[in-house]
Amino acid sequence: MKLYGVMVVQNEADIIQDTLNFLQRLNIYEAIFFYDMGSEDDTFAKARGYEGLLHAPQVLDALYTNRLRYDLLAQHRSFYQPGDWVAIIDADEFYAEDPIELIRYAERENASCIKTYQAEFVLTDHEVRKLGEEDPARPIHERKMLRHKTFELELCTANEAIEDMELMGYPFQLFKGLETGQDSVVYRDGPKGYRLAQVEQRNGRSWGRRPALTVSPRPAVRMSLAEATESLNLTAGPFVFYAEALTGRGRVLYRRYDGHYGLITPAGAGLGPG
């Protein structure tokens, strides 16, 4: 049995060497297929120093989607033999248990897939320094858009989105409703409840399976990024879910730990005017 992996990265210069050194010491991968999505820092330059671990690192000019890493693994199927395993590797995550032991256990149970989730978040040295420098209550005129993430929204039910949100420890989850076709967001509402908001209000048959889920009766407000930023600044909430003024697509503008902003948009929706 051989183990192969794929790693898709972008702007991970502060952690990539720690991750690759860890994987190198672990010495369980036959090869890791490494793709850089156009980092603006020196992530790719650092990765090229691990030729014995990474198979032909390359820069990839493509839009990130949830399926991309699986598609990239499939492109290398000529490497695999029956009984081999393949893995998705994140650039900022470390194994808490021996993957080989987990694979052996899975094989004894006749399982063909192992799904793992982050269990503990650890700050990098760079982030620790930033925490000392940044202030979540920084003045509005000093706040900047520091992170913009675009990806293909997962098509799922509200209940499945809640499960993903809880497993990953996120404060919200942006997704596309399986039953409604609407760009939607779920988030925590009180100590035990959940709230669903949609670009346009629709009903879903499966929502009744989760009594703690309530549905916003109002559609998302259509506004520009500048208007969403102003709205977020006027509230004490951690994020604003809104419909982009021109495209009508759902997006989330949120507060980062350092007082700046982050923006999540669906693939194909574009950044939109300020």
pLDDT tens, residue by residue, 78-124: 999 999 999 989 888 888 778 898 899 989 999 888 876 554 455 55
Please give the pLDDT value at position 274. 42
Beta bridge partners of 29: none
What's the domain count of the chain? 2
C-beta separation of 266 from 251 below 8 A: yes
Q: Which residues pair with 242 in a beta bridge?
A: 251
Question: What pLDDT score does 97 carry?
Answer: 78
Residue 38 sits in a domain whose CATH number is 3.90.550.10
Regarding predicted confidence, which is higher, 210 or 50? 50
**Is the residue at 191 inside a domain?**
yes
- Tell whether the torsion through CA atoms of 99, 101, 103 and 106 is positive or negative: negative
Same structural domain, 80 and 160: no
Q: What percent of the chain has pLDDT over 70?
A: 82
Q: Is residue 198 part of a domain?
A: yes
Tell me: do 148 and 71 sit in the same domain.
no
Q: 273 pLDDT exceeds 50?
A: no
Q: Where is pLDDT greater, at 272 or 26? A: 26
Same domain, 17 and 68: yes
Residue 113 lies in a domain: no
> Domain end: 45, 74, 108, which one?
108
- Residue 217's identity, in one-letter code, is P
Domain boundary among 92, 108, 124: 108
Domain span including residue 169 = 134-266
Q: Indicate whether 272 belongs to any domain.
A: no
Paired residues of 85 in beta bridges: 3
Residue 216 lies in a domain: yes
> What local confidence, expressed as pLDDT, does residue 249 receive?
94
pLDDT digits (tens, 9 = 90+) for 11-32: 888 889 999 999 999 999 999 9
**Segments in the chain forming alpha helices (H):** 16-26, 43-47, 68-75, 99-108, 125-133, 158-168, 225-234
Type and span of the H or E element at 265: strand 261-266
- Taking the whole predicted model, whether its pTM rises above 0.75 is answered as no
140 and 253 inside one domain:
yes
Q: Is there a domain that residue 115 lies in?
A: no
Tokens of 2: 């051989």
Does 150 fall in a domain? yes
pLDDT over 90 percentage in the chain = 41
One domain, residues 71 and 145 = no
Domain match, 233 and 178 both: yes
Are 139 and 257 found together in one domain? Answer: yes
> At CB < 8 A and 24+ separation, what contacts does 248-255 make?
248/199, 248/222, 249/183, 249/199, 250/174, 250/182, 250/183, 250/184, 250/185, 250/198, 250/199, 250/220, 251/174, 251/183, 252/172, 252/174, 252/185, 253/225, 253/228, 253/229, 254/171, 254/172, 255/136
Rounded-to-integer distance, Cα 76 and Cα 58, Å = 14
Would you say residue 138 lies in a domain? Answer: yes
